[in-house]
Amino acid sequence: MEASSARAEPVDTAAAVGEGGRLCAFRQCRAPLPVSTGRGNRPRYCQDGKTWGPNDLTCKTAEAAFVAVDSLLTADSALTPAVLDQLGQRFDEAQGPLDRLLEAVTTVGRQVGEETGAALAARDRALETAAADRGAREAAEALTAQYRDEVDAAGARAAEAVDLAHAAERARARAEQDAAAASREQLRAEGRLTALTERLQRSDELVEATAAQLAELRDQHATVGATLRLTENTLADERTRTRDLLDAHRTELADRDTAAAAQRAEHEAALRRLQDEAAVAAEAAAQRREADLEALRTEHAATREQLIADHAAQLADLHRRLGATDHELELLRRQLSEAAASADEQTGS
C-alpha cells in the first residue's frame, strides 16, 4: 500500500524518537508526529491529510483495516457470502441516514454561526452605545464640576448656575439610565452569545461523533471488502475443483451411455424376435377365429330358418283358432237374436 496524496518526506525516524518525538501508529507509515502542547489526548496517527490506496484511507482507517484482516485470518470460523452480503447491506442502509444526519448537523452549524455573528454584531453595537453614553455622562460630570466652580466663584450667578446644575444632573441621570439600559442589553447579548456558543459546541461534538461513526463504518466496509475478495478467491478454487469433478462425471456418464446403447441394441433385437413370433401367433389365431366365426354364422342361419318356420306355423295355428272363434261368436250372436225374438213374442202374447 502506498500513499495516494500528501506523501510524507523521508525523515530520520531514529533521530525523531531519540529527541522525544512520537511516531504514527500505522505500521506502513511510522512518520514522526508533531510535538503536542497542552492537556488532552495526543493523536496516535498523522493529522496532515495523508491518504493511502485507491480508496483514500487515512492512517487510522488503514491500520484498522489491517487489524480487521489479521483478526479474520486468525479466526476459527470464516465468514460466509450470505453474512458478508448482509453486512454490506447493513452498511449501505446506514450510509444514507448518516449522510443525512451529517448534512443536517452541517446546516445547524452554519445557522448557529450566522446567529453567533448576528449576536456578536448586536453586542458590538451595544458596546458602542454604552461607550457613547459613558462619554456623555463624563462630559455631563465635567460640565457639572465646571458649573459648581463657577457658582463658587460667582455668587451673583448662583440662580443660573443652580439651574444649569439641575439640567446637568438630569442629563447625567438620563445618561446613567441609558448606560444601565446599554449594560442590560450587553448582558442579554452576552447571554445569547453564551447559549449560541454552547449550541455550536454541541453541534461540533455531534459532527465529530457522526464523522467518527462514519469513519468506523467505512473502515468496516473496507475490511469486509478485503474479506470478500479472499472469499471470492476461495470460491474460484472451489469452482475449479467442481469443474474437474463434473468433467470426470461426464466421462463416466458417456461410458455408461455407450454400454446402455449396446444393451438397447440387444433388447431391440430380442423385441423384434418377439414381435415376429407374436405376428405368427396372431395370424394363426385370426385364422382360427375366422373358422369359428364361419361355423357360428352357419349355425345362426340354421337357427334363424328354424325360428322362422316355427313362427309361421304358430301364426297359421293362431289364424285357424281365430277363424274358429269368429264362427263360434257368430253362432252366439244368432242364438242371442233368436232368444231375444222369442222373448219379445212371449211378452206380446
Question: Which among 232, 220, 230, 219 has a CA at the least distance from the CA of 87?
Answer: 220
Pair 54, 43: CB distance under 8 Å:
no
In the chain, how many domains are there? 2
What the block records as the C-alpha cell of 63 is 491500520
Q: Is residue 287 part of a domain?
A: no
Q: Quote the distance between the C-alpha of residue 19 and its chain's center.
A: 54
Examine the domain organization and report whether 256 and 149 are in the same domain: yes
Specify the higher pLDDT residue, 211 or 312: 312
- Report strand pairing: 22-23 vs 3-5: unpaired
Examine the domain organization and report whether 62 and 85 are in the same domain: no
Q: Domain end: 216, 238, 266, which one?
A: 266
Q: Domain end: 215, 242, 266, which one?
A: 266
| Residue matched to cell numbers 462630559 | 139
Count of beta carbons in the 10 Å neighbourhood of residue 182: 20
Examine the domain organization and report whether 184 and 65 are in the same domain: no
Examine the domain organization and report whether 63 and 124 are in the same domain: no
9: amino acid identity, one letter? E
Which 3-state string (H, E, C) describes 75-137?
A: CCCCCCHHHHHHHHHHHHHHHHHHHHHHHHHHHHHHHHHHHHHHHHHHHHHHHHHHHHHHHHH
CA-CA distance, 9 to 186, in Å (whole number)? 51
| Residue matched to cell numbers 475490511 | 223
The mean per-residue pLDDT over the stretch 233-248 comes to 78
Examine the domain organization and report whether 131 and 180 are in the same domain: yes
* CATH classification of the domain holding 134: 1.10.287
284: amino acid identity, one letter? A
Examine the domain organization and report whether 52 and 136 are in the same domain: no
What the block records as the C-alpha cell of 293 is 366365426
What the block records as the C-alpha cell of 325 is 272363434
Question: Which among 58, 349, 103 has a CA at the least distance from the CA of 207?
Answer: 103
The mean per-residue pLDDT over the stretch 57-82 comes to 74
Residue 166: pLDDT above 90? no
Examine the domain organization and report whether 53 and 98 are in the same domain: no
Residue 11, phi-psi category: left (phi > 0), alpha (psi -120 to 50), beta (remainder): beta
Q: Which residues contact 143 (CB under 8 A, 6 or more apart)?
A: 168
Q: Is residue 94 part of a domain?
A: yes
Q: Is residue 214 part of a domain?
A: yes
Q: What is the pLDDT of residue 157?
A: 62
Examine the domain organization and report whether 158 and 207 are in the same domain: yes
Examine the domain organization and report whether 40 and 145 are in the same domain: no
Examine the domain organization and report whether 216 and 124 are in the same domain: yes
Q: What is the pLDDT of residue 6?
A: 42
Examine the domain organization and report whether 71 and 170 are in the same domain: no
CA-CA distance, 223 to 235, in Å (whole number)? 18
Q: Is residue 283 part of a domain?
A: no
Q: What is the pLDDT of residue 19?
A: 42
Adjacent-strand bridge partners of 51: 5
Provide the domain limits for residue 10. 1-77
For the chain, give the number of residues: 349
Q: Domain end: 203, 236, 266, which one?
A: 266
Indicate the average pLDDT of the chain. 76
| Residue matched to cell numbers 443652580 | 162
CA-CA distance, 250 to 100, in Å (whole number)? 56
DSSP 35: P
Residue 217: pLDDT above 80? no
The mean per-residue pLDDT over the stretch 23-43 comes to 85
> Beta-strand (E) ranges in the chain?
3-5, 22-23, 32-33, 51-52
158: amino acid identity, one letter? A
Specify the higher pLDDT residue, 228 or 138: 138
Instruction: Mean pLDDT check: name the lowest of 12-16, 82-86, 149-153, 281-285.
Output: 12-16
Question: Which among 228, 236, 234 has a CA at the least distance from the CA of 65?
Answer: 228
Q: What is the pLDDT of residue 76?
A: 47
